[in-house]
Amino acid sequence: MIDILSPVMEFSIVIPAVLLACLPMRKYLPVHPVRFAAVLLPLLFMICACGGLLCYFFHLKTIWLMPFVDTAALMIYVRALNLTHWKSVSVFLAVLGAFSCLANVAKAFDVILHPDGSSLGLSFGAALFYLALCLIFVGVAWYPATHAVRRLLEEEAFAQTWYVFWILPLMFMGLNLFMSPIHPQILYQGRLMQIYIIVSLVLLCLLLAFYGLFYFVASSLNKNYRLLQENQFLSMQQMQYDNLRAAVVETKRARHDLRHHFNVLSSLAERCEWMELKKYLADAQAGLPGAELNLCENHAVDSIVSHYGMLCKNGHIPFSVRFDLPQELPVSEVDLCLVLSNLLENAMEASLRAEAGERFIRIQAYLHSRTVILVNVENAFDGQVKEKDGVFQSSKRRGGGIGIQSVRSIAEKNGGYSRFRYDGKRFRADVMLRGM
């Protein structure tokens, strides 16, 4: 019975691994955490039991089936979350990277318990010790996972950093696998046992130090990016205020001149000089201030749209706006402003590359079912699109477009979506932002 339970116990470390990986994901779980655990835990235990039985009946080493068990747990974990795959995979691999260091300590403990070695995997006592180490690690990492990692996952400014983070835990997993002795008895030579344990613990501390460094660097970059965005929004609002103030001054001047216009019109009408009257009316109408402001009740959104509307006017790009948004938004005001800024900036740059007579930008945004905001942007472009594996490439630099990536990341944060289509020389972006 112990021989059957040993591989099952060794594979069962995926359960604390998934538990630790789920701690920062409360916001992205499809159901309540208790219901989520009630469905997930039996499924994971069944996978561990199947792996252990295969190792026992077919005399397979657990090290050969461990990647398949980990992959199965990873697929279940990723599919269950309402989060981008890059982030969820990176978090799960980060946990496995730390557990791989603890696995080497458990192997050394197994050699101490059974000097003759085990051909299939850890003994029951060593597997139990390995599981206990993983559970202790979960307890130690509970607070950082539910606070620091959760804040990092919610940051959207530098989402592309997750595209490379997974390399670090994979490197440490490979290094720990390389360190694992083929013949455990070799650890009894000289001081190899002590060195092996110390190096394994040092690698764990080094990996955790790298995780901490990544967190502080990413947090600093995100903070700087948020400050940059806030300064940009303030600049747009200042420009909007200056334009409104200039419009008010011009309107006052027009109202002041209106009395003189009436005097001239009355004089021309009394003398029946109708041609002169029509000419004077045309000249007076041309001198009236324009009122081409498309405003919505939310001042931050209004500033963004007005700013790009002015840029489009200066660039001779027809700009059409249809907004139906309340002052209090169901989604993050910063998220909506970032989405609008990225979409309008891309639309304006694409329209400027199109022929002068074909340029246009149309944008509409409205509230749907109280908690959802739908945004649609259409614009002209020159018909040339750089796309690779479904990812739009930047026209200004090598690699994917950061603006579109940012929009996708923000839209998918709370279960929304984004879709980008093009037909001929017309590009269309549809974004759904979902509130909490």
pLDDT at position 54 is 92
pLDDT at position 310 is 82
pLDDT at position 397 is 46
Task: Pick the closest to residue 135 from 16, 305, 55 (CA basis).
Answer: 16
For 123, other C-beta atoms within 10 Å of its C-beta total 22
pLDDT at position 30 is 84
| Confidence band for 241, pLDDT divided at 50, 70 and 90 | low
Q: Where along the chain do the CATH 3.30.565.10 domains lie?
A: 295-436
DSSP classification of residue 400: B
d(CA 174, CA 177): 5
Most confident of 89-103, 240-254, 287-301: 89-103
pLDDT at position 247 is 59
Tell me: the pLDDT tens digits for 66-100? 999 999 999 999 998 878 788 899 999 999 999 99
Considering only residues 170 and 114, tell me which one the structure prediction assigns the higher pLDDT: 170
Q: Residue 171 contacts by C-beta under 8 Å, 6 or more apart in sequence?
A: none
For 253, other C-beta atoms within 10 Å of its C-beta total 12
Q: Please provide the CATH number assigned to the domain covering 295-436.
A: 3.30.565.10
Most confident of 236-240, 392-396, 428-432: 428-432
Is the pTM of the predicted complex or chain greater than 0.85? no
pLDDT at position 184 is 74
Tell me: the pLDDT tens digits for 21-40? 999 998 888 888 889 999 99
| Confidence band for 373, pLDDT divided at 50, 70 and 90 | very high
CB 360 within 8 A of CB 354: no
Structure tokens at 381: 């472009």
Name residue 418's beta-bridge partners. 431
